[in-house]
Amino acid sequence: MDDAELFEPITRGDAEALNRLIERHYDFIKRYCYWKTGQAEWAEDLTQETFYRFCRSLSSYKDKGKCRAYLYTIARRLCADAFRERPPEPIEQVPEAKLGSASSAEDEAGAHLQSKELLEVLQELPSELQEAIILRYSYGFRYREIAAITSVPLYKARIRVERGLAAMKKRMREEDLNEKETERAHNHAGASPCSDV
């Protein structure tokens, strides 16, 4: 049963249908909140508040088939409000990547979203580019959904993903070059002075 089909019993007060909907999306929202905050306990609080606000708004919620995007919108606003009180902490890992439909041009940066090096590169990006990359590759949102979640036009959501990927690829190439130069210098320094004779 998809989200839209669950809404009819939910609006009639079916607690089991509501629990199924919450269970379906809870971990995704919690991972998003963790990515935004860097703290498991804080992420848990924000996740619970997200679902509380979602339940309070059910009577006015119209687009029943886009539940996950709506939940992310609530979570995003809650995280933004929370950051006014205290800044987020650095994250230790990116939420699991789900790259099933990424194009080959996007795969290079997206395919290794779990690696420590890539996480470091991701954290160097401006926050709006980080968020676009995470929503696209960790959660599999389409550009239209990213635009709705982040409250920007469709073209801007696409541009943020493209700029984020380009910046990450550039930085990764720079790091590869630096590693190769360091390795060459190390190999050259370790060579015997007579080896060229």
Residues 1 and 47 in one domain: yes
pLDDT reported for residue 176: 77
pLDDT by position in tens, the chain (length 197): 788 888 888 888 889 999 999 999 999 899 888 888 878 899 999 999 999 999 998 888 776 557 888 899 999 999 888 877 776 665 555 555 433 334 444 444 444 445 667 777 888 899 899 999 988 988 888 999 899 888 899 999 999 999 999 999 998 888 777 777 777 776 766 555 554 44
The residue type at 175: E
Full residue range of the structural domain in which residue 5 is found: 1-92
Q: What is the CATH number of the domain that holds 62?
A: 1.10.1740.10
* Last-in-domain residue among 48, 77, 92: 92
pLDDT reported for residue 196: 44
Query: Domain for residue 156, yes or no?
Result: yes
> What is the number of other CB atoms lying within 10 angstroms of the CB of residue 79?
20
CA-to-CA distance for 72 and 99, rounded, in angstroms?
Answer: 19
Query: Domain for residue 197, yes or no?
Result: no
pLDDT reported for residue 90: 58
Residues 134 and 57 in one domain: no
Residues 65 and 143 in one domain: no
Q: What is the CATH number of the domain that holds 111?
A: 1.10.10.10
Give the CA distances from residue 106 to residues 69, 121, 123, 133, 169, in Å, rounded to whole numbers and listed in that order: 22, 16, 18, 10, 10
Residues 100 and 76 in one domain: no
pLDDT reported for residue 190: 58
pLDDT reported for residue 115: 64
pLDDT reported for residue 99: 33
Query: Domain for residue 196, yes or no?
Result: no
Residues 6+ apart with CB under 8 A from 25: 67, 68, 71
Residues 102 and 33 in one domain: no
Query: Domain for residue 37, yes or no?
Result: yes
Is the pTM value of this prediction over 0.75? no
Q: Are 78 and 61 in contact (CB under 8 A)?
A: no
